Amino acid sequence: MLNDVQSAEAYFQAIFRVQSTWIGNKENKTIVLKPKAWVFDFAITRCLKIVYDCANNIADQLDQQESYEQSFDHKKDNLEITVAGLCDTLVIKRFIEGNLTSIPTTAKDIFDVLDHGGSRLSLARRITSNILVNFDSLKLLNEHPYLLEILNNVKGYRTQEVGSVDIKELAQIGIDAEKLKEIKNDAELSTEEIEKVIGEFMEKDKDKERQTRKKWYATQIKRLAICMADFIYMTYEREYNINDVIQTKSPEFFNVMTGITKENFIELCEKGFLNKFALNRIVREFKDQEETSLEPEKYIFDNLLKNIYQNITIKP
């Protein structure tokens, strides 16, 4: 049954149908005519890939919704939370050869074994996504005006035609974004009151100069993500998460590739100008795409060695 399905929906539906119980009544007694069943999938890569893809789609939707509502928390990784939730909800367990004791599957197991993030096209979309951008942080420019110079120094293939970038106006965008988030999360306000305030903010955002300033900031952040991907590709080191980039042994080359220093990059991450967990997903997926493209035979062989001694079990 599982061999005939391609999508995550069909895969899980097939499993749930097998596992669903059938309870009947006989002489006023409840009888379990069909108990819950185990489902064994000996193709561990397929199972983990489907779980990862399913979690990745859900996390993308959460990221997009939170970005649209300007309510995302840059300290929260929706992908890791979703993968962990699926592992716990589905009770995915593995059996190692020679051991009859099952081992619970964790989010780390799925990232380590498969770690796909979709096609190169989806990775490219993620690198240029608005999810990376956190407008709230612009309010910090009032307290730390030197951060604007760091943003200005990010390399680009062409200069943005925005004229002079006013630091006070950029900071006001951040203040407004924070106020909007607070209003949306204010339990004491009615739906009508919240909608009225949101309408006022949307009207303010129609100003062309304000739109230009927001576009400039968003573009600088996306440029930095693109430069970071270039840096990862050009170095001999293998970066598996954003901390590997932060702790790079090639700080001078990082400066050449991005236009800012490693210390500048760390500060932008710590102050929330960049969504650190969105960057973490980019690094993770870029590494996977890089390994499969540069050494495909070695990548396949290594994964076969990892999976050959493992079977997998799913229980609701």
Which pLDDT belongs to residue 164? 65
Is residue 280's pLDDT more than 80? no
Which pLDDT belongs to residue 150? 92
Q: Which amino acid is at 227?
A: C
Instruction: Output the six-digit token pair for 271.
Output: 């102050």
Which pLDDT belongs to residue 73? 64
| Residue pLDDT, tens place only, 22-31 | 777 777 777 7
Strand partners, 104: 93
Residues 232 and 191 sit within 8 Å (Cβ to Cβ): no
| Residue pLDDT, tens place only, 137-196 | 999 999 999 999 999 899 875 555 555 677 888 898 888 888 888 887 777 888 888 888
CA 257 to centroid of chain Cα atoms: 24
Instruction: Output the six-digit token pair for 275.
Output: 């969504």
Rounded-to-integer distance, Cα 243 and Cα 235, Å: 15
Which pLDDT belongs to residue 261? 93
Rounded-to-integer distance, Cα 104 and Cα 315, Å: 11
- Residue linked to tokens 């079977």: 311
> Which stretches does DSSP call E strand in the chain?
22-26, 29-34, 39-41, 92-96, 103-104, 310-314
Which is nearest to 136 in space by CA: 185, 79, 67?
A: 67
**Dihedral class, residue 115 (left if φ above 0, else alpha if ψ from -120 to 50, else beta):** left
CA 192 to centroid of chain Cα atoms: 33
The residues, any chain, with a CB within 8 Å of residue 178's CB and separated by 6 or more, are 136, 139
What H or E segment, with its residue span, contains residue 140?
none
| Residue pLDDT, tens place only, 86-95 | 888 777 777 7
| Residue pLDDT, tens place only, 4-27 | 676 778 888 888 777 777 777 777
Which is nearest to 154 in space by CA: 186, 132, 139, 125?
A: 132
